[in-house]
Amino acid sequence: MPNRIIKETICSSRGLASCSIFSQDLYKRLITYADDYGRFNADTEIMLARLYPRETDVITQFDINEALVELSGIGKIEFYTSTPRKDIYAAFPNWNEHQRVRDSKKKMPDPTDTSINDWYLRRFVSLEMKIAILEESKFKCGSCGKNLNPFELDAKNLIKMNTGAIHFDHIVPVNQGGRATFENLRVTCPSCNLKRKKTFTFNEILNFAVNCDEDKELAASCGEFPPNPIQSLSLSESLSESLSESISCEQSSRGKQIPYQEVIDLYHSLCPSLPRVKMLSEGRKRLIKARWKEVDGDLNAFEAVFSNVGKSDFLSGRNNKWTGCNIDWILKQDKFIKIGEGTYNDKSGTDNVFLDMLQRGDY
């Protein structure tokens, strides 16, 4: 594995500071594991053998997978698949800013689909939420009642330092539409959690996007997503193919072309403060297609929704109350309707309403 540059800013990174110590350790090892383009094979079996060759008796693939979820949740890595889909890869979005990209041959293929990234993002639970859930549980396993904190550490310490000892379990599994919300999460001991088969094989993850038939995927995308602080799912310039290349028009069931490019253009022009779309993944196409059908192929409906987003201090992030809005969030069925109906439009005194929504996770 090559030598890499690690900058001192890694020590003051707020994102990394919100991760477990193990995730932070994995992150540094990943910098040496990635190829010269900041990409790597995300098969945890290979990662375990390559990154922790002397600790395979202590560290598990489950630990690595949990850390990958955490690192993807804070936006430090993004996952993708290539064609033909046979491996999961990940990439550092800002690799070029930190590492010298040598003139060497790419070891990993170019991304063709980023929908696999959702598998990881849906499982992400922020440090703040973990602390709240752990404190609410009084440090007891939600299944067997075992004391998870015999040495009476504080919640943050326990979560950050004792990865593997505390598991956060989705009561309704993510695969069945469960969300990473306060209500749907509980803390358990490892044995109770693993009994419920929370470990996924590499192939199960890989099959995530393949096996999601359209309806299932839409159901999951439409309001069943966890509220997520992720600013953007988009891949960096270094990764993404040019948008115009990856965008294609296709016929809808009504025989009318779905103008993916025009929808994206409208979004860019009316919501300039929000993360730009750099890749039109299959998941995004499905969202656009679903909304397109619901509004009977009327581009004006998209324009009205994006216009409301751009004008809203809350959704555009101008009032700094929430900065999680992006194209994927806007295109969810319930959000699209609510925005269109003006639910998020600025009104006097609405700040408190939005704050309440934020606190409830209902946004």
Residues 97-156 that bind Zn ion (CB under 5 A): 141, 143-144, 146
Among 155, 189, 264, 288, binds Zn ion (CB under 5 A): 189
Other beta carbons less than 10 A from residue 93's beta carbon: 20
Burial of 147 (0-12, 13-18, 19+ CB in 10 A): exposed
Contacts of 316 (CB under 8 A, 6+ apart): 271, 273, 274, 309, 310, 325
> Please, which residue, 85 or 140, has the CB nearer to Zn ion?
140
d(Cα 267, Cα 95) in Å, to the nearest integer? 27
d(Cα 10, Cα 7) in Å, to the nearest integer? 6
d(Cα 187, Cα 203) in Å, to the nearest integer? 27
CB-based burial, 312-324: b 16+ in 10 Å, e otherwise: bbbbbbeeeebeb
- The CA R_g of the chain, rounded to the nearest whole Å, is 21
Bond before 84 cis per omega within 30 degrees? yes
> Please, which residue, 44 or 188, has the CB nearer to Zn ion?
188
> Please, which residue, 145 or 173, has the CB nearer to Zn ion?
145
Residues 190-209 that bind Zn ion (CB under 5 A): 192
Phi and psi torsions of 126, nearest 5°:
-70, 160
Q: CB of residue 73 vs Zn ion: minimum separation in angstroms?
A: 24
Q: CB of residue 27 vs Zn ion: minimum separation in angstroms?
A: 29
Q: CB of residue 189 vs Zn ion: minimum separation in angstroms?
A: 3
Q: CB of residue 88 vs Zn ion: minimum separation in angstroms?
A: 30
Q: CB of residue 191 vs Zn ion: minimum separation in angstroms?
A: 6
Q: CB of residue 137 vs Zn ion: minimum separation in angstroms?
A: 11
d(Cα 168, Cα 93) in Å, to the nearest integer? 27
> Please, which residue, 192 or 222, has the CB nearer to Zn ion?
192
Give yes or no for residue 331 binding Zn ion (CB under 5 A). no
> Please, which residue, 147 or 242, has the CB nearer to Zn ion?
147
> Please, which residue, 141 or 287, has the CB nearer to Zn ion?
141
CB-based burial, 153-188: b 16+ in 10 Å, e otherwise: eebeebbbebbeebbbbbeeebeeebbbbeebbbbb
Q: CB of residue 141 vs Zn ion: minimum separation in angstroms?
A: 3
Stretch that binds Zn ion, among 62-70, 185-193, 208-216, 306-314 (CB under 5 A): 185-193
Q: CB of residue 65 vs Zn ion: minimum separation in angstroms?
A: 20
> Please, which residue, 78 or 169, has the CB nearer to Zn ion?
169
226 neighbors 185 (Cβ within 8 angstroms): no
> Please, which residue, 146 or 254, has the CB nearer to Zn ion?
146
d(Cα 196, Cα 189) in Å, to the nearest integer? 12
Count of chain residues binding Zn ion (CB under 5 A): 6
Stretch that binds Zn ion, among 36-44, 83-91, 188-196, 322-330 (CB under 5 A): 188-196
Burial of 132 (0-12, 13-18, 19+ CB in 10 A): middle
Binding site for Zn ion (CB under 5 A): 141, 143-144, 146, 189, 192
